Amino acid sequence: MTLADNTFDLDALNRRFDGHEAQAIVSWAAETFGDRLVMTSSFGVQSALMLHLVKQVAPRITVAWVDTGYNFPQTYQFAQDLQRRLDLNLRVVQSPLSPARMEALYGKLWEQGREGLDRYDRIRKIEPRDRAFEDLRVAAWLSGPRRDQTEYRKTMRVIEDFGGVLKIHPILDWSSGQVDAYLTKHDLPRHPLRDKGYASIGDWHSTVPATASSDERAGRFLGLKQECGLHLPQTDQENQSRDSSGL
């Protein structure tokens, strides 16, 4: 099943699900797409929420983790803890280009400005995700961005067409307070770097603690951007939208 095989009225779907409970959205997705539904996780600060929420509805859903090879040690430990605790059907996705080989060929891309970071993201994140989605024959993708995180995410809809895959955002309208309340209610762990001032966590070389006055993703990508491209369709229109917003 792909979007090409079925006619989805995205406007109608968004009218139907905008403001709905997150679990109702996940239930519809699981019933509609079956084993061709996948979710992604970065094992970041609040990842336990989406993993727990989705598992209640679709216990054996494939969880795809795009592992760059440059995560903090605490992230790898956190991912292992959540995999055991929640019994995740985890698929680790990586670039065929090892970190050492990439650095030998291109240098430390994260030190090469915005252009270097964009190339880094294409190599270590976007290509591995696209390849995994093709291998898994993904028809729909559950992901956890929220509108209050970045300017670009304010423009997202609950359900979108992402290059032929239906991209579904069950917690798009949740606030940070709602996230914290859910984690507390279900006794779910936070990322261990949260207590060290990290509001959003990516790779060790380009993530810094956020200040008290900054937004959640201000510490990402050395302040040069807020999106790695995983949530941005790689089209001229979307890239123009990203550049105009300063992301």
pLDDT in tens, 7-16: 789 999 999 9
Residue 228 designated active-site: yes
pLDDT band at 222 (very low <50, low <70, confident <90, very high): low
Residue 159's region, left for phi above 0, alpha for psi from -120 to 50, else beta, is beta
Q: What is the mean pLDDT of residues 146-153?
A: 84
Residue of 37, 51, 168, 228 with catalytic role: 228
**What Å distances lie between residue 38 and 78, 134, 238, CA to CA?**
21, 12, 23
- What CATH class is the domain 10-245? alpha beta
Locate 113 and state its tokens.
Answer: 């400005």
Residue 140 backbone dihedrals phi, psi, to 5 degrees: -150, 150
In tens, the pLDDT along 163-199 reads: 889 999 999 999 989 999 999 999 999 999 998 988 8
Locate 216 and state its tokens.
Answer: 């959640």
